[in-house]
């Protein structure tokens, strides 16, 4: 298993280019199942989760062509052709490695009238059920049973006894769910009539997916608000390479680099990103004393000396993202003062705390609240990554710790960060991958 070896204490200086958003790329890749024509996506990040999704789609019969395979220099352009899907199934072997595989359920059911998708299990950050996805699809007339660990779904039976089109419905989810909203929005694009999604998630990744679907011919309004209206159409069309959908910049990768500079100090410009998607995090960084100067498609961040500890509460967008909680906690670990962090989205998202404590941090957890008291210096140690964002927080802590920090199990990091250690090296961090 690969590890990252970090020698802390370097200031960060220079430029980093931000990649396309993981949590937009995954639903966008699955949305290509909705059309019988090839769909081209651009600004696709190079990530293990993207590779897993491509494997999942290829296993169903989707033909995948990367621009690089055509001898093209554009590594971030991919064309997917779901014209010959023969196996509308997501097997356990793939789903168990990536919960976002559930995003094929809506598109498969909408286009083929049937789907067989392994039930995702629990994961390091909580039990994470998918009951809302199932409830919403049932409201659209789907017949769904869960047996032998699989969600077996088919569309409402037509007069010919065959599964037919889903029916538009008004759906109010019990809580705000990001992939739940995405699954239902995708399913509704090919349903008969109008679907209204109430209590919809407002994340920028939802807007990105809606924009892709609209470019493919879907009729959607209200994306980015709590009520999304979708008028079903008979079919969606493809997108040629010239019409490629550009995936939005990764706001969590952006926020991770902002926190790294805030904690380690330095002066860095993040290119190809969008500060507007990250206002809650930028506000908190400013409170911590970090200078953040947004431009049209870049952000300049600079910091010197210790930051000030800042408390926050995770919330759905536009609130403070749960996916930034661990990285901001790492910054608080070396800040002046103490601050309370409340995690409201996931039940078990403090797995990084014990590892941060191994590095000398002072953190006390009580239920959903972690109180961090900053220390003047962390000290390097061997630590273990437990999930994607926890790994990123350990890397940030390693950048500021005295001596050597070895972060083990970084396959979690590779799932969702595009060449993170290379990007950090590019701005002066002393970090290397140790193969193992
Ligand atoms: N929930 C249910 N039932 C459902 C759906 C959700 O109880 O049917 C609960 C969850 O257990 C959780 C809350 O609702 O407590 C919100 O979960 P949500 O469904 O919004 O999470 P998700 O869609 O599974 C996405 C991101 C996560 C991110 C969350 C919250 C993708 C592929 N994943 O997950 O990203 O943390 O939204 O913003 O978009 C990450 O990138 O590291 C990551 C975990």
pLDDT at 58 over 70: yes
What are the tens digits of pLDDT across the range 290-315?
999 999 999 999 999 999 999 999 99
Comparing CA positions, the residue from 339, 336, 363 lying closest to residue 351 is 363
Domain boundaries, the chain: 3-18+249-434, 22-246
Q: What is the pLDDT of residue 128?
A: 79
What are the tens digits of pLDDT across the range 249-294?
999 999 999 999 999 999 999 999 999 999 999 999 999 999 999 9
pLDDT at 13 over 90: yes
Query: Is residue 374 helix, strand or coil?
Result: coil
Domain 3-18+249-434: CATH architecture, name and number where available: Alpha-beta prism (3.65)
Q: What is the pLDDT of residue 1?
A: 86
Q: What is the pLDDT of residue 263?
A: 98
pTM of the model: 0.97
Q: What is the pLDDT of residue 7?
A: 98
Which residues belong to the active site? 123
Distance CA 57, CA 132 (A): 23
Distance CA 333, CA 377 (A): 9
Query: Is residue 277 helix, strand or coil?
Result: helix
pLDDT at 73 over 90: no
Q: What is the pLDDT of residue 163?
A: 86
Q: What is the pLDDT of residue 178?
A: 98
Domain 22-246: CATH architecture, name and number where available: Alpha-beta prism (3.65)
Side-chain-side CA neighbours of 285 within 13 Å: the count stands at 33
Q: What is the pLDDT of residue 99?
A: 92
23 lines ligand 1 (CB under 6 A): yes
What are the tens digits of pLDDT across the range 86-108?
999 999 999 999 999 999 999 99
- For ligand 1, atom 2: residue with the closest CA: 129
Residue 417 CA from chain centroid, whole number: 10
What are the tens digits of pLDDT across the range 315-365?
999 999 999 999 999 999 999 999 999 999 998 899 999 999 999 999 999
Q: What is the pLDDT of residue 348?
A: 85
Ligand 1 centroid – CA 129 distance (Å): 9
Q: Distances in Å between the alpha carbon of 273 and those of 164, 208, 332?
A: 42, 14, 24
Domains 3-18+249-434 and 22-246 share a fold: yes
133 lines ligand 1 (CB under 6 A): yes
Q: Is residue 384 a contact partner of residue 67, using CB atoms and an 8 Å limit?
A: no
Percent of the chain with pLDDT over 90: 92
228 lines ligand 1 (CB under 6 A): no
Ligand 1 centroid – CA 384 distance (Å): 23
- For ligand 1, atom 43: residue with the closest CA: 323
């Amino acid at each position: 298993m690969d590890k990252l070896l970090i020698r802390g204490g370097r200031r960060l200086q220079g430029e980093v280019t931000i990649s396309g958003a993981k949590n937009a790329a995954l639903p966008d890749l699955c949305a290509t199942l909705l059309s019988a024509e090839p769909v081209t996506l651009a600004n696709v990040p190079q990530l293990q989760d993207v590779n897993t999704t491509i494997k999942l789609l290829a296993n169903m019969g989707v033909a995948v062509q990367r621009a690089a395979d055509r001898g093209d220099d554009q590594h971030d352009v991919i064309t997917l052709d779901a014209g010959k899907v023969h196996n509308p199934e997501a097997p356990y072997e793939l789903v168990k490695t990536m919960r976002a595989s559930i995003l094929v359920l809506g598109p498969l059911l909408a286009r083929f009238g049937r789907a067989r998708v392994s039930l995702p299990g629990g994961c390091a950050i909580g039990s994470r059920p998918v009951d809302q996805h199932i409830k919403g699809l049932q409201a659209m007339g789907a017949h769904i049973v869960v047996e032998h660990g699989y969600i077996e779904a088919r569309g409402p039976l037509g007069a010919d006894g065959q599964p037919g089109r889903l029916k538009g419905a008004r759906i109010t989810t019990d809580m705000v769910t990001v992939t739940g909203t995405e699954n239902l929005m995708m399913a509704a694009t090919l349903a008969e009539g109008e679907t209204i999604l109430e209590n919809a998630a407002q994340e920028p990744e939802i807007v990105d997916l809606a924009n892709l679907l609209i470019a493919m011919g879907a009729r959607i309004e209200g994306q980015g608000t709590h009520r999304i209206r979708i008028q079903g159409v008979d079919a969606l069309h493809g997108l040629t390479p010239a019409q490629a959908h550009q995936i939005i910049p990764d706001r969590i990768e952006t926020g991770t680099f902002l926190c790294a500079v805030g904690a380690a100090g330095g002066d860095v410009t993040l290119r190809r990103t969008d500060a507007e998607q990250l206002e809650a995090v930028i506000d908190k960084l400013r409170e911590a004393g970090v200078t953040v100067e947004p431009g049209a498609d870049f952000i300049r961040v600079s910091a010197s000396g210790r930051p000030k500890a800042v408390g926050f509460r995770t919330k759905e967008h536009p609130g403070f993202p749960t996916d930034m909680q661990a990285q901001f906690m790492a910054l608080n670990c070396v800040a002046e003062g103490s601050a309370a962090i409340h995690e409201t989205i996931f039940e078990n998202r403090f797995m990084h705390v014990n590892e941060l404590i191994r590095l000398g941090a002072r953190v006390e957890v009580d239920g959903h609240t972690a109180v961090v008291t900053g220390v003047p210096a962390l000290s390097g140690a061997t630590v273990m990554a437990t999930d994607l964002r926890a790994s990123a927080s350990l890397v940030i802590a390693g950048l500021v710790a005295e001596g050597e920090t070895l972060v083990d199990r970084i396959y979690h990091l590779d799932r969702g960060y595009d060449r993170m250690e290379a990007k950090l090296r590019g701005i002066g961090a002393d970090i290397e991958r140790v193969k193992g």
